[in-house]
Amino acid sequence: MAASRNISVSEASRPKLPRHARLKFDETRQVWVILAPERVLAPDEIAVEVLQLCDGVRSVSEMVDQLAVKYAAPREAIATDVVAMLQDLADKGFLTEVREKTS
Amino acid sequence: MSDILAENKTIAAAPSDGLAVLESQRSTAETFGIPLAVLAELTHRCPLQCPYCSNPIELDRGGSELTTGEWKKVLSELAEIGVLQIHFSGGEPTARKDLAELVQHATDVGLYSNLITSAVLLTREKLSALADAGLCHVQISFQGNEPEVADRVAGLKNAHERKIEAAKWTRELDLPLTVNAVMHRQNLHQLADIIQMAVDLDADRLEVANVQYYGWALKNRAALMPTIEQIDETSRIVEEAAVRLKGILAIDYVVPDYYALRPKKCMGGWGRQFFNISPAGKVLPCHAAESITGLEFESVRSNHSIAWIWQNSEAFNRYRGTGWMKEPCKSCEFREIDFGGCRCQAFALTGDAGNTDPACTLSPMHEQIFKQAELEAAAHQDRFLYRNFAGGTLETEGEHGA
C-alpha cells in the first residue's frame, strides 16, 4: 500500500491528500472545497494554501519555513497551527502520508 | 493574513462542514442553490434481489434507460451548473457496459465520482479500468459478515464471496473503500463482526444503515423490523466502535425511524440540497419520490434544463421549505430543523405526503407505528419477498433466492 492510515503529524511528516479527498476550486460558488465521500468541506484560504503544499514530497517542516518567510511571522506559532490543522484533517481521514519506499 | 496566521485563529478552526459554509454564502435553502452532490441511478437492473431495495416497486426497464450519450450530456450539464459530486448507483451500475466511459466523462468535466455497487459483477480488470478513468471512491454493499445470512438476504449464491474479493481488489488498486451495511432484524446480530470485517478489508469508512421502510422494504417490513432491544444494542456497539476505531475506520450510523423520537431531516429537506436522476431520466427529489402518487416528475429528456427542473418544477416546489406544512409541523419550533421528516414515509403511512412524518412523536400516528413496529419485530415472520422486475417473489421454505 502506498499510503498509511491513522497518522500522527509532526514536522517530519510528508503529508498529502488521499485519492478520495480532492482539493478543487468551485467556479460556481467561487470557493475552494475538499471533495470527499459523502462530504464537501470548505477550507479557509490559509488551509487551502497549506494543503496546496501537501504533495507527499515536502515535509511539514519545509512548509512551515516557507510560510514563515512568506508572512514574516514567528516560525513556532506557524508550526503549531499547521500541525494542529493537518492532524485534524488526518483524524478525519482527509490526509495521508507517503511511506518510504523500500525499493 | 499574516496576522490571522500568527494569532492562531483561523487555521485551528479550519475546514468545517462545507454545506453550512456554502449555504451561508450563496447556496441558501431560500434560493435553492444547486446541490453539491447528485445520485445517478444508471439502471434498475441488478443481479441481487435484496428485500429492502431502495428502488421503486415499479422498476424502469432496461429499454427505457438513458443512453450513453444522454448520460454524458447530463454529466456535463451537472458540472456546468455547479454540482461537485456524482454518485453512480442503480440497480447495479456495473451492469451498464458504458460505466467506465461515463466515469471518464465525469472526470473530464471535473466531477468527483463515487461508485455505489453490489460488486458481484466486478472483475479486477473492470475495476482497474474504472480507476484509470478517474473513479474517486468505491462503496460496496454487504448483507452480512458471512455467506449464509448474506447470500440469503441478497438472494444470490456466492454473492458474499465475490464482494469480499472485489473489496480486496479495491484496496489493492489503492481506491478508497466504504463498506455499506444495511441492517435489519435478521442480520443485526452480526454487526460487531461486520465492523471487524470492514477493518479487515482495510475500508476507510463504514455505513451502518438501518433499513428505511419505503417501496420494497415496506413490503418486507414484518421480516426486517428490528426489536427495540436490538436497536439499543446496535447503538452501543456503534458508539464503542467509533471511539475504538478513530482514525482507522470512520463510521456513519443511520438510525431506524420507527423507534426514533424526532424524524430525520430527510434528504436535508425536500428539494433543498439533493436530487437524483432515475434510469429513465426523471429528476427526483429523492430515490423513493415516485412512490408518492399525484406528483409529476420532469425528465432530462424534456425541453427543460436540469437547473430549471430543480428550481421551477411543481414536484420540487410542492414540499419545499415550510409553506406547505399543516399542523403540527406548521407551528413547530423544529420545522426548519427536520422539515417535517420524510415525505415518502408520510405518504406511505398516512396516505398524504403533506402530513407530519409518523416517525415524529408529535405525529398523531407515532404511537401506532411504534406499537406496530414492536409487534412486527416480535412476530418472527421471517420470509422475504425478493425484489425483481416481476413485482417480487416470495421466499420458499428451505430454498432461498440464493
What string of H, E and C letters represents the secondary structure of B278-313? CCCCEEECCCCHHHCCCCCCCECCCCCCHHHHHHHC
Between CA B177 and CA B251 the distance in angstroms is 12
Q: Is B10 on the interface with A (CB under 8 A)?
A: yes
Mean pLDDT of A24-42: 86
Distance (Å) from the alpha carbon of B260 to chain A's nearest alpha carbon = 23
Q: Which residues of B touch A2 (CB under 8 A)?
A: 174
- Give the chain B residue nearest A75 (alpha carbons): B6
Q: Which residues of A touch B34 (CB under 8 A)?
A: 28
- Give the chain B residue nearest A22 (alpha carbons): B112
ipTM of this predicted complex? 0.78
Q: Are B56 and B348 in contact (CB under 8 A)?
A: no
Q: For cell 444547486, what's the residue?
A: B34
Partners of A35 in the β-ladder: A22, A40
Q: Which residues of A touch B250 (CB under 8 A)?
A: 92-93
| DSSP summary character for residue A96 | E
Task: Please choose, from the candidates A84, A97, A95, A85, the residue with its C-alpha nearest in 3D space to the C-alpha of residue A14.
Answer: A97
- Please indicate whether, in this complex, the C-beta atoms of B6 and A35 are within 8 angstroms of each other: no
Q: Is B26 on the interface with A (CB under 8 A)?
A: yes
Q: Is B97 on the interface with A (CB under 8 A)?
A: no
- Please indicate whether, in this complex, the C-beta atoms of B18 and A42 are within 8 angstroms of each other: yes
User: Count of A–B CB contacts within 8 Å?
Assistant: 138
Q: Which residue type, as a one-letter code, is found at position B211?
A: V
How many CA atoms does the CB half-sphere of B216 hold within 13 Å? 26
Confidence of residue A102 (pLDDT cuts 50, 70, 90): very low
Between CA B302 and CA B178 the distance in angstroms is 35
Please report the pLDDT score of residue B401 as a whole number.
Answer: 52
Task: Please choose, from the candidates B156, B162, B163, the residue with its C-alpha nearest in 3D space to the C-alpha of residue B178.
Answer: B163
Between CA A9 and CA A60 the distance in angstroms is 8
Q: Is B81 on the interface with A (CB under 8 A)?
A: yes
- Please indicate whether, in this complex, the C-beta atoms of B18 and A72 are within 8 angstroms of each other: no
Please report the pLDDT score of residue B398 as a whole number.
Answer: 62
Query: Do you know the residue count of chain B?
Result: 402
Please report the pLDDT score of residue B256 as a whole number.
Answer: 80
- Please indicate whether, in this complex, the C-beta atoms of B14 and A89 are within 8 angstroms of each other: yes
Q: Are A35 and B85 in contact (CB under 8 A)?
A: yes
- Kindly report the pTM of this predicted structure: 0.87
Say which range, A50-54, A87-91, B377-381, has the weakest mean pLDDT. A87-91
Please report the pLDDT score of residue A45 as a whole number.
Answer: 86
B88 three-state secondary structure = strand
Confidence of residue A101 (pLDDT cuts 50, 70, 90): very low
Task: Return the percent helix, strand and coil in chain B, to nearest 5.
Answer: 40, 15, 45
Residue B211: how many other CB atoms lie within 10 Å: 26
Q: Which residue type, as a one-letter code, is found at position B156?
A: L
Please report the pLDDT score of residue B177 as a whole number.
Answer: 95
- Please indicate whether, in this complex, the C-beta atoms of B1 and A84 are within 8 angstroms of each other: no
- Give the chain B residue nearest A83 (alpha carbons): B12
Which positions of chain B have pLDDT values less than 70? 1-32, 398-402
Please report the pLDDT score of residue A2 as a whole number.
Answer: 38
- Please indicate whether, in this complex, the C-beta atoms of B85 and A40 are within 8 angstroms of each other: yes
Partners of A41 in the β-ladder: A34, B17
Q: Which residues contact B187 (CB under 8 A, 6 or more apart)?
A: B143, B144, B149, B150, B153, B194
